[in-house]
Amino acid sequence: VEGESLLMGINDIAVSSGSACTSATLEPSYVLKALGVGEDLAHTSIRFGLGRFNTQEEVDYVIDKMVQVVTKLRELSPLYEMAKEGIDISKMKWQTA
């Protein structure tokens, strides 16, 4: 699931994609890239911030909401169905019209 797509589905939760220093761009986290995470997978990352005043109920809400939104986005994605069937979509040759 693309991180940016996920962000649109959880507009009531303070979360971002990418690193804090590149939050104005769509570039994936340079830390993830430095760790060897591929570009496609790095684009799926999101960043949460927790503080000492966050409650267990707030954390549980975020977890439940994330599961709902990821499930919905996966249902909309033909690529997810292909991945479930064991097709390595990173090796596919896509044609453009």
Catalytic residues: 21
Contacts of 50 (CB under 8 A, 6+ apart): 59
Contacts of residue 70, defined as CB under 8 A and 6 or more positions apart, other chains included, come to: 1, 6
